[in-house]
Structure 1
Amino acid sequence: MNGRRTAVLRRTALRAAAGALLTGAATGCADGGRVTHAPQKPRSAPEPDGARQAEGPGRKAAAPRRFAGLPVQIEHGSRARPRVALTFGGEGDPALALRVLADAERAGARLTVLAVGDWLDAHPEMARRILDGGHELGNHTQSHLDVNGLDEERAYAEITGCARRLRRLTGSIGTWFRPSRSRRATPLVEDLARRAGYPHVLSYDVDSLDLTSPGVAAVTRKVTGELRNGSVVSLHFGTRDTVAALPLLLTEIDRRGLRAVTATELLT
């Protein structure tokens, strides 16, 4: 009788111990016999659909930097060095953007992409793709409105809205700011960009006019006719004329002994 009772007590004790171990494995980790629970993470505001898939380890975007001796608004680099910067407005069909990036990389060119925040919301994976290709990424406002025509509050929200998305996706607010729908920033937008963390506004001295869909030949003639040492060229991802013209432009850049580099490389 005593033997059976002892066996029952032993089995009960073993089951209790096993249950404690299983509970510990499910809810936390055992530390010296104590079960500890992982702290709950605070709730955060909801993010746009698809944003999380682009987060995680990857190439971090460079932060903005100040170039001593250069104006706040920069249109071109040194005329003494055989370099040019091809800068792209980041919006439109991502398939076209991927073709531009692939063509540039085959030619050894490095681009500067000024991304629209709404575009990053819809296609967050593009931020990682741009950086992983060795290109640099900047801010072209959140909604691509006429930022120069907005009041101070709305203009600042356009700049900082895109900056927040860039930081979430890349760890940085991006290397450059360029105003949307304008070649240059007004004094107000220039000040707001500085307040948001951008020491300079990236303008350009060569406008491809690709947004007017003039045709491949017209885009090629416009750019090659004005291109020279230190040029900053304005182009756009979402136009088929640009996609078709880019290989011709890259060939001409190489023929002239120029190098296509990022805007930061152009100025350093």
Structure 2
Amino acid sequence: MKYGDGPPETGSPSTPDDASTAAAIGRRPVLRLGAAATLGTVLGCSGEPEGAAPEPAARTSAPTRPGTVTPSPPGNAAPPARLPAEVRHGPRDRPQVALTFHGAGPVRLAEDVLASAERSGARLTVLAVGSWLERYPGMARRVLSGGHDLGNHTQNHLDICGMDEEAAHAEIAGCATLLRELTGSIGSWFRPSATQQATPLVQKLSARVGYRTCLSYDLDSRDHTDPGPAAVVATVLDSVRPGSIVSLHLGHPGTAMALPEILDGLRRRRLRAVTVTELLAR
């Protein structure tokens, strides 16, 4: 079974072996931007500027970044072995949805979202921006300790579909390397930045780093435009269906305020919020 509404898969990219992946990451420099410059110009997943300002840096030391890292196979929990190159939604015949969050913004808002989900027995998928994890490295383990999925949303959240091959690879590999250092895994999923759908080049490059499937979505909450909690709730609950993959953002107060009502609404519809890994499991 394939999910995604996209063109038929012509062959799932295979996960490279450790040696070839390490060589791929090692021979390409990871692009870096200063933390303040990067977080100050972060874009929403559809390309619009985000409004939430970052908190002051909370880390006391930077993680060691060796020149060559061998990524583990993708996954906090391993994704299914056979999926299309890109997935937009899960199966429509199960009462499950996946709430997926762009991982950036103030830690207190991220903590609010994670705690709300955990109180309700929901599990989320956080696609972390690498520069955010560099600033707040403890958030990687915090996400995993709550039973949530953790994935890769590029190193600096730039327009990856507009980059050349070397720069786009560096964005994917940079965040993968950081995830590997912080958690022992490159993460379950990769979502391209500043776009809903990956180009064929981005799909190829993410497979080279170790992600068999790019993660898209079929329901955009538009929460990064800060329309207010009521509007976020309405957008999600008016359009959600079994199998939906919903795009949300950690760094916005309205989203944190909206989440409890979203979860209540899902329960009323007898839909369970699960990780993407569980949603796409056979």
> What is the letter of the counterpart of residue 123 of structure 1?
Y
How well do the aligned residues superpose, as a CA RMSD in angstroms?
1.7
Query: Contact between 1:220 and 1:249, CA under 8 Å: does it hold in 2?
Result: yes
Counterparts of 1:112 and 1:178 in 2: how far apart (Å)?
11
Write out per-residue CA displacement over residues 89-108 of structure 1, whole angstroms, 9 at most, x where no aligned residue. Answer: 00000110000000000000
Check conservation: 1:64, 1:176, Cα contact below 8 A: no
Distance 2:194 2:158 in 1: 7
Cα drift, residue 61 of structure 1: 5.8
Does residue 96 in structure 1 map to residue 91 in structure 2? no
Task: Answer with 1 or 2: which has the greater Rg.
Answer: 1
Deviation at residue 63 of structure 1 after TM alignment: 5.9
Match of 2:234 among 203, 216, 221: 221
Question: What is the distance in 2 between the residues matched to 1:249 and 1:155?
Answer: 34
Q: Which residue of 2 aligns with 1:243?
A: 256
C-alpha distance after superposition, 1:161-183 (max 9, x if no partner):
00000000000000000001111
Deviations 1:36-63 (A, max 9, x none): xxxxxxxxxxxx953459xxxxxx9626
Residue equivalent to 2:203: 190
Q: Provide the TM-score with structure 2 as the length reference.
A: 0.73
Q: Which amino acid in structure 1 is aligned with residue 79 of structure 2?
A: R
In structure 2, the partner of 1:134 is: 147
1:246–1:163 CA distance, 2 compared to 1 (3 A): same
Give the aligned residue type for 2:118: E
Tell me the number of residue pairs that the alignment of Structure 1 and Structure 2 aligns: 214
The residue identity in structure 1 corresponding to 2:244 is S
8 Å contact 1:64–1:174 — kept in the other structure? Answer: no
Whole-angstrom CA distance in 2 between matches of 1:202 and 1:97? 21
Q: Which amino acid is 1:186 matched to? A: T
Question: Whose relative contact order is higher, 1 or 2, with alpha carbons under 8 Å and at least 6 apart?
Answer: 2
User: What's the TM-score once normalised by structure 1's chain length?
Assistant: 0.77
| CA apart distance, 1:65 | 3.3
1:65 paired to 2:79: yes
Question: Structure 2 CA distance, aligned partners of 1:152 and 1:188?
Answer: 7
Q: Aligned match of 1:114 in 122, 127, 136?
A: 127
Alpha-carbon distance in 1 for matches of 2:272, 2:77: 23
For structure 1, the residue ranges without an aligned partner over 5 or more in a row are 1-47, 54-59
Contact kept, 8 Å, 1:88 with 1:113, in 2: the verdict is yes
Q: Do residues 201 (structure 1) and 214 (structure 2) align? A: yes
Equivalent runs, 1:1-268 vs 2, <5 Å? 50-52=61-63, 62=76, 65-68=79-82, 70-268=83-281
More helix by share: 1
Change over 3 Å in CA distance of 1:108–1:66 after alignment to 2: closer
